Amino acid sequence: MTISTIKLAELQANQSIEMQLLIRRKNLAQSRNGKDYLKLTLGDSSGEIPAFLWDDAARADAALKEGDCVHIQGRTQLFNGSLQLTLNSIEFWQGPVDPRNFLPQTDKHIPTLQRVLLQIITDIRDPWLKRLVQAFFVKDQKFAADFALAPAAKAMHHAWLGGLLEHTLGVARLALKVTPLYPQINADLVLTGALLHDIGKVRELVYERNLDYSTAGRLLGHVMIGVEMIRDKAKTIKDFPDSTLMLVEHLILSHHGEYEYGSPKRPKTLEAILLNFIDDIDAKITAVTAHLETCKSADSDWSDFHRLFGRAFYAAPPADAPDSAVIDPLKDPESAPATPPAPPKLF
C-alpha cells in the first residue's frame, strides 16, 4: 500500500509508504561488519520518526544535509516497541516546500487570532501609539502575513508556526485584564508594548524547513531588531513624539527583565515592569502546558523532568473537574460567534 498524504503520527507498522519528509538529523555510521548505513530522523508537522538507509548510504549522506526536504520510499516496522522506517530510497525533493507541511503549527485558528488582534488595536486611545501599531498590523500587509506565520521561539515557548501571533495575543489579553487594576499605569503604553515587544522575531527566526536563527538573529537578536523596526516605522509618522518613541523603545529593550535573560536594559518604568511579568507569564504557562501534554505518561500524575525549568510538574486533574470540555473559540471558529466579542475596555 502506497500512502502519499498521510502524516507520520498516523503511520502504523508494516506499511509501505512514499512521502515527502524533512531531514531533522542524520549520521553516517557503520554496522558491526563494517558496512556504512545512514541513520536519520525524519519529520513532518505531526512528529518525527527514526529511519535507516542500508544501501548506498555514503552517497546519500554526501548528497543530503539536515533541513533538506526529501522524497522517500520505504516500510515501517516496530523495533523495541517503537515505530521506525527502513528506507528503500531517499532523494532530494525538487518541488515547492510549504513549511506548514513540515513544522509544528498552532492549534488555534489563525484568521480568528488576527481579527481579535485588530479589534484589540482599536482600544488604544493614544493617537500616536495607535498609529504606530497600525503601521505594522494594518498598513504593512507583508509584515502582518509574516507575523501570523512566524514562531515565537526556536524551542522554549510557542515554538510552532503561528506561535508569535498566539503569544502576542496572549500577552495583549493579559494587559487588558491587569492594567485596570493599576490606574497609575499608562494602559495604552502597556498594550502597545504587548503588541510590539516581539516583532523582531519575524527577522530573528527562519522557519521554511526548520526552526532556527537567521544571521541577523544570531548577531543582533529580536530585541535590537525590534527597536530598529519601530524606529523605522515611527519615521513614517509625521511629528511622532520623541518622548513617546523613547518609552516604547524602553519597553522593547527591557521586556526580558534581567541582563542574564538577554535584556539590554532592566525595566525602569511601571509599564516596562508590568510588560516583563505578563510576557513571562504567557511564555511559561504555555511552555509548561506543552511539556505536560507531550512529556507525561498516562499512568503518572507527573511530567518528565524539564531541563530548562529544572523540575518535573504535577498534572493530576482536580477532583471536581467538569466532565465536558470547554470549547475554545480560538481553536474552533465554528463554535464561536461570527464576529469575536470585543475585548474589555481598558478602564
* Domains present along the chain, CATH in parentheses: 8-98 (2.40.50.140), 103-292 (1.10.3210)
Q: How many helices (H) and strands (E) does the chain have?
A: 11, 7
pTM of the model: 0.79
Q: Closest Cα to residue 75, out of 22, 130, 17, 128?
A: 17
Structural contact between residues 53 and 95, judged by C-beta atoms closer than 8 angstroms: no
State the alpha helices, DSSP H only, in the chain.
57-63, 110-121, 127-137, 141-149, 163-178, 187-196, 201-204, 215-219, 221-235, 242-254, 270-294
Helix axes 242-254, 221-235, angle to 10 degrees: 160
Q: How many CB atoms are closer than 10 A to CB 23?
A: 22
Q: Check residue 100 and give its pLDDT.
A: 82
What end-to-end distance do the CA atoms of the chain give, in Å? 62
pLDDT in 10s for each residue of the chain, 347 residues: 344 578 898 899 999 999 899 998 999 999 888 899 999 999 888 888 999 999 999 999 999 998 889 999 999 999 888 899 999 999 998 888 888 888 888 889 999 999 999 999 999 999 999 999 999 999 999 999 999 999 998 887 888 899 999 999 999 999 999 999 999 999 999 999 999 999 999 999 998 777 889 999 999 999 999 999 999 999 999 999 999 999 999 999 999 999 988 889 999 999 999 999 999 999 999 888 888 887 777 778 898 888 888 898 998 776 665 554 556 667 765 555 454 444 443 32
Q: Extract the C-alpha cell encoding 29.
A: 555510521
Q: Check residue 327 and give its pLDDT.
A: 61
